Structure 1
Amino acid sequence: MASSTSSSVEARSLIFQTEFEDICREVQGLVQSNVIVPWFEDGVASESCLLVPSLEGGMPERLTVHLKDNLVDLSAFDKGDY
């Protein structure tokens, strides 16, 4: 039984990884390479900063759907940007 469970997890992991890599290739041109950017709260720059790279325009919808469909917890980013 453990063997079939392990095989199932490996198969799902490979499917997740393949789709994730495809999406990453698509958005590669949107990556901003600034090292440090200000953190904004309610449209106002705070004293905090983010280490980036970040994605221009935030996380693409296809990537958000892929992560949520695969039970990746995105709650840390609910009020932030990617």
Structure 2
Amino acid sequence: MSSSTSASVEARSQAFQTVFEDICREIQGSVLPDIVLPWADDDGAASDSCLLGPSLEGGMPGRLALHLKNNLVDLSAFDQGDYQD
């Protein structure tokens, strides 16, 4: 790999990290730290299921999803449901 390619990858990685860290600071208060959370359906009714945390209250923020998709992070696992699924 040439040094110019290496410098380009380094610059893109640094730019990705900077924006990612900014988003993480913004959503810090939305992170639910509990390891096991009671699961409620979309209507708010309790169920016998639990969610393994940590998780994000309200699911993955749009800005974070867009940043990851724009930077070629594979989010295909989330295509069939929301982030908390």
User: Which category describes the TM-score, using the shorter chain as reference length?
Assistant: 0.7 to 0.9
1:33 and 2:28 aligned: no
Q: Identity percentage over the alignment?
A: 65
Q: Secondary structure at the match of 1:20?
A: helix
Taking structure 2 as the reference length, what is the TM-score of the superposition? 0.78
1:75 and 2:56 aligned: no
Taking structure 1 as the reference length, what is the TM-score of the superposition? 0.80
The separation in 2 between residues aligned to 1:50 and 1:77, in whole angstroms, is 16
- Unaligned stretches of 5+ in structure 1? none
- Cα RMSD between the aligned structures? 2.5
- Unaligned stretches of 5+ in structure 2? none
Q: How many residues align?
A: 81
Where has structure 1 moved over 6 Å in runs of 4 or more?
none
